[in-house]
């Protein structure tokens, strides 16, 4: 099984946001770990860190929010520093297809 990429968690994240409302990083991580099958590489602990490759990908949804292809940059979600990611109408349309 291949390592999970940020693009791979777009739809699952939007489904979680649609169900749970805005979600901070910890809530998104717990939700995604519960609905996705992760590879051994995803579960590897990063060097000099206490977190996994997968948790880094989840955090990147916020830290890469201005990058092309990102859930926020593409308008599928907004970012609020207190509430986390929140789904937009564009995000709802994507998952309703």
pLDDT digits (tens, 9 = 90+) for 3-34: 999 999 999 999 999 999 999 999 999 999 99
Half-sphere exposure of 24 (CA within 13 A, CB side): 4
Per-residue pLDDT at 62: 97
> Rounded to two decimals, what is the model's pTM?
0.94
Q: What is the pLDDT of residue 88?
A: 98
Task: Please tell me the predicted confidence (pLDDT) of residue 48.
Answer: 84
Domain ranges of the chain: 7-96
Measuring CA to CA, which residue among 25, 12, 29 is closest to residue 80? 25
CATH class of residue range 7-96:
mainly alpha
**pLDDT tens digits, one per residue of 35-78:** 999 999 999 998 888 899 999 999 999 999 999 999 999 999 99
Rounded Cα distance, 48 and 32, in Å: 24
Q: What are phi and psi for residue 71, nearest 5 degrees?
A: -55, -35
């Amino acid at each position: 099984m291949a390592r999970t990429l940020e693009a791979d968690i777009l739809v699952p994240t939007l489904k979680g946001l649609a169900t749970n409302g805005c979600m901070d990083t910890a809530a998104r991580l717990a939700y995604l770990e519960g609905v996705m099958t992760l590879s051994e590489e995803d579960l590897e602990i990063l060097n000099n860190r206490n977190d996994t490759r997968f948790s880094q990908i989840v955090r990147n949804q916020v830290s890469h929010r201005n990058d092309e292809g990102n859930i926020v940059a593409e308008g599928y979600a907004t970012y609020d520093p207190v509430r986390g990611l929140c789904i937009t109408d564009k995000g709802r349309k994507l998952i309703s297809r």
